[in-house]
Amino acid sequence: MKPLRVLIVEDQSDLRLLVRLALEPLQPEFMELADGMAALAAVRSFKPDLLLLDVMLPGGVDGYQVCRAIKQDPLTRAIKVVMVSARGQTGDIEAGRQALADRYVVKPFSPLALLDEVRSCLSD
């Protein structure tokens, strides 16, 4: 069976590490990026099963835009997207839903809670 491929898009390296550590029980293959433009390019080459995506990213393309582009493309729409953001207001979460994210996790998060969300998302 092929390993789970996970793309982490987060501009803070300490949070990328925390996400990676939280998901280690799944034994995934990781790719990490820090901006939205790079994420859009990497999705086609890396072909992740799961994308953990921050909302606020440098480079002019935010997480909502990345998510929407992935979910509207027939070649990438099956990728599960979990948005992970410090923006936790009702409007922010609704914006994630509007961008077609599969899940929305608010920072700070428990690593175990993130793992549970990811497992649930992957089983949908």
pLDDT at 2: 81
Q: Please answer whether residues 74 and 52 qualify as being in contact, where contact means their C-beta atoms are separated by less than 8 angstroms.
A: no
pLDDT for 1 equals 72
What per-residue confidence (pLDDT) applies to 16?
A: 96
Which CATH number belongs to the domain containing residue 64 in this structure?
3.40.50.2300
Q: What is the pLDDT of residue 59?
A: 84
Residue 123 belongs to a domain: no
Is residue 69 in some structural domain? yes
What pTM was estimated for this model as a whole?
A: 0.95
> How many domains does the chain contain in total?
1
- Whether 24 and 14 have beta carbons less than 8 Å apart is answered as no
In a domain, 122, yes or no: no
CB 28 within 8 A of CB 5: yes
The answer to whether residues 74 and 110 touch, using CB atoms and an 8 Å cutoff, is no
Would you call the peptide bond into 25 cis, given omega within 30 degrees of 0 as the criterion? no
Average pLDDT, consecutive stretches of 10 residues, N- to C-terminus, the chain (124 residues): 92 95 96 95 95 93 96 96 93 95 95 96 93
Is residue 41 situated within a structural domain?
A: yes
